[in-house]
Every structure is written in C-alpha cells, then in structure tokens.
C-alpha cells in the first residue's frame, strides 16, 4: 500500500563495490581489461544534489567496481521557491552527465541505466530537461517514480535488511525527498520463499536535505527551530504509521531500522569517533540506539564552524547536515527501534545489481 504526503564489502556479497586499487590508471587499462573481463554494466543516479555513476562487472553474488564518479551539481537549487530547474543548475548537471557519457564510451558497457529522481519529478520543466540531457549526452536518462526509487534502495540494501529477524524499516534521506519502505524479511512469517526482501508498503515525503535547507534556512541551528522541524516531518510520517502500526511491531521486537543516505553515514562516522570518513568502517555497521543518539547530539553541538571543519563533513555539506539530522530525528522518534543498520550504498548499487540479475536470467537456458 502506498501513501503520499504534500558509496560495498558485504559478508553475503563479498565483491559488491570493491574498487580498483589504482583508480587513477583505470581508463588507461581499459583496452587490456576489456579483453579479459566479463561484460560491464553502468548505473547513473542524477539526484537533487549529486550526479553519481558506477561501472561494474559481475563477481560472485555482487559486483566488482571498475570506475566511479560523483559530482555535486545542485540540480534542485532554488526549486522550492521557483518550481523550476534553473539554467545554471541544468548546465551543471549536463556537464556532469557528459563526463559520465565519455567515460562509459571508453568502457563500452553492455547495458546502462540512468535515472533522475525528485528534482525532475517536482520541476515544471523536469521533462524538458530530461529531453535536453538525452540529446546532449546520448544517455538513456529517465525520471523514475518514488515506488521504483524505493525498490532500488531495497535492492542495494538487501543483505542488511535480511539480517533483521522479522521486519525492516528502510529509509533514504535524499536531496529533494525522503523515502520510507516497510519490508518483510525473507523466511519470516508470511514471507514467500525467496532471497529478496518483500515490500509491504512505502511512503514518500517531498522533504529532503536540499529543499529543507532552502525552506528552513537557519531554523535547525537553534533548539526550538530544530524541534519544530522535527514535529513538522513527523506529521508527514504519521499517516504511514497509522496504516501499518510500525511502532507496535517495533515494541514486539524483531524490527530493524536500515538507513541509507549521507545523513546516516555522517551520524555513524561521528558516533564511531572516526578521525576521517572510512567507508569500510561504516557500511554495514549496526549501531545501538544510544550510540546513534550520541552521534546526533555531537553533530548538533558542533556549530557551523565545527561542521565545516569536521573531516566527516566538510564545508560543502554544512548547509545540509542539520536539515538531514532533523529528518533523521523525526524518523527515529516516530519509530524508535533498538538499533540502526548503516548503508553506504544507494540507487546506483541497486541499479547495477538489477542489471546483472536481469542479464543472468536472460542467459540462463530455458527449462521445461
């Protein structure tokens, strides 16, 4: 049931996201690697704030990363106020997509998926921008629905979801929206006999770190303002709670929160007292609620200068950290699970896994 409101080293997927040890020479090795490697696949995620790409080949139950790219493009800059994508934002996004297209031509991938999310869904000129991006880059970029966005997040986080006892509440705090998925774990009561988690229901709210930072600039820096934003977001989450009674399920036990977003990985990095961000220490970490709360409190106590200077944050993300923390706090207060599984992965990884699975199904001989 759906309701609407106004970057892997996994134990179950050992090769997922393992990067090349020599990233700088990746493109120079392409011709030699192409002769020996399996078919390559590519995924591009154009979000409200970032443009990201992954190129990978199947390896075991996951994939081996050949190339990756990420750039802040701020596609949704000013969207809350104007309702449209600005010329400057569209130019930045197309420049980044053009870099992706050039790198993909060198790799000669077998299949590609390129998606846009909330900024293009919301913008009056979103469809026109997608047409322009296709023409300029040759990439088959398309805007996906919130339902498919949830499905891709589930795909990338399946190994973490499957570690829960009965249910998982997966959330993805994006730049322009936040997606929530209520998930049945394989092997639990009522679950079909298959390896992938099953979606019970999902919810999307048009609030993300970019839109919230523009709409409530400075609010989250004060105690009262932060609390007001948290309450506003909880009101947007309440209809989903009323349908699925997730709070009651959490009290019965066996439910795990699984979070995937820059906000969640930042909170985890600070909760773990890391001197710098290390993906290997964060992706897949399961933190008790008390440790998560200490990380959230530490972030809020840093102040703007402290946020900019912290090695797990940096000046480019200062405007988005506290709005993201407010969204996270609303989710955690609404659904206070005993621990949080942290995922440093997202839509790109979900797309790659889906492309690989589809290719394997096509190559499998038909059996009567």
Lowest mean pLDDT among 73-87, 188-202, 213-227, 346-360: 188-202
Confidence of residue 317 (pLDDT cuts 50, 70, 90): confident
CA 255 – CA 241 distance, rounded (Å)? 14
CA 132 – CA 115 distance, rounded (Å)? 14
Q: Is pLDDT larger for residue 6 or for residue 34?
A: 34
Residue listed under structure tokens 């009561």: 189
Q: Residue 225 pLDDT > 90, yes or no? A: yes
Residues 181-198: tens digit of each pLDDT: 999 998 765 555 466 789
Please answer whether residues 73 and 210 qualify as being in contact, where contact means their C-beta atoms are separated by less than 8 angstroms. no
Confidence of residue 304 (pLDDT cuts 50, 70, 90): confident
pLDDT for res 191 = 54
CA 290 – CA 299 distance, rounded (Å)? 15
Q: Residue 50 pLDDT > 90, yes or no? A: yes
pLDDT for res 364 = 64
Tokens of 272: 């773990």
Mean pLDDT of the chain: 87
Q: Residue 367 pLDDT > 80, yes or no? A: no
**DSSP class of 101:** H
The number of residues making up the chain comes to 368
Q: Residue 226 pLDDT > 70, yes or no? A: yes
Confidence of residue 36 (pLDDT cuts 50, 70, 90): low
All domains of the chain in start order, with CATH: 7-145 (3.30.420.40), 158-344 (3.30.420.150)
Q: Residue 103 pLDDT > 70, yes or no? A: yes
pLDDT for res 313 = 87
Percent of the chain with pLDDT over 90: 70
Report the Cα–Cα distance between both ends of the chain, in Å, rounded.
35
What's the average model confidence in pLDDT over 192-210? 86
Tokens of 66: 């050949």
Q: Residue 22 pLDDT > 60, yes or no? A: no
What's the average model confidence in pLDDT over 143-151? 95
Percent of the chain with pLDDT over 70: 87
pLDDT for res 332 = 96
Confidence of residue 32 (pLDDT cuts 50, 70, 90): low
CA 290 – CA 292 distance, rounded (Å)? 5
* C-alpha 30: how far from chain center: 28
Q: Residue 9 pLDDT > 80, yes or no? A: no
pLDDT for res 34 = 52
What's the average model confidence in pLDDT over 9-25? 33
């Amino acid at each position: 049931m759906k309701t609407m409101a106004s970057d892997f080293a996994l134990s179950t997927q050992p090769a997922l996201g393992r990067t090349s040890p020599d990233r700088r020479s990746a493109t120079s090795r392409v011709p030699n690697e192409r002769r020996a490697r399996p078919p390559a696949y590519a995924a591009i995620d154009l979000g409200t704030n970032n443009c990201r790409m992954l190129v990978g080949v199947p390896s075991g139950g996951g994939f081996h990363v050949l190339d990756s790219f990420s750039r802040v493009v701020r596609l949704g800059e000013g969207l809350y106020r104007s309702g449209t994508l600005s010329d400057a934002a569209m130019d930045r996004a197309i420049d980044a997509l053009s870099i992706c297209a050039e790198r993909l031509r060198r790799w000669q991938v077998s299949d590609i998926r390129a998606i846009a999310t909330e900024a293009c869904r919301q913008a009056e000129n979103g469809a026109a921008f997608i047409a322009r991006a296709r023409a300029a880059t040759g990439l088959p970029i398309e805007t996906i629905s919130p339902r498919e966005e949830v499905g891709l997040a589930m795909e990338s986080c399946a190994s973490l979801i499957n570690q829960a006892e009965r249910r998982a509440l997966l959330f993805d705090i994006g730049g322009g929206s936040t997606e929530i998925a209520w998930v049945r774990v394989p092997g639990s009561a009522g679950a079909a006999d298959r390896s992938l988690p099953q979606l019970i229901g999902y919810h999307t709210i048009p609030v993300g770190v970019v839109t919230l930072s523009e709409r409530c600039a400075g609010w989250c820096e004060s105690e009262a303002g932060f609390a007001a934003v948290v309450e506003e977001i909880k009101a947007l989450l309440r209809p989903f709670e009323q349908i699925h009674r997730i709070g009651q399920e959490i009290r019965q036990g066996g439910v795990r929160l699984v979070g995937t977003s820059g906000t969640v990985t930042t909170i985890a990095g600070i909760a773990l007292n890391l001197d710098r961000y290390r993906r290997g220490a964060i992706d897949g970490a399961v933190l008790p609620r008390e440790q998560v709360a200490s990380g959230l409190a530490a972030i809020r106590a840093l102040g703007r200068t402290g946020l900019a200077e912290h090695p797990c944050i940096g000046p480019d993300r200062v405007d988005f950290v506290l709005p993201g923390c407010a969204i996270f706090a609303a989710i955690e207060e609404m659904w206070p699970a005993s621990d949080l599984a942290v995922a440093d992965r997202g839509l790109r990884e979900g797309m790659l896994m889906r492309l690989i699975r589809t290719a394997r199904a096509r190559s499998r001989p038909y059996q009567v």
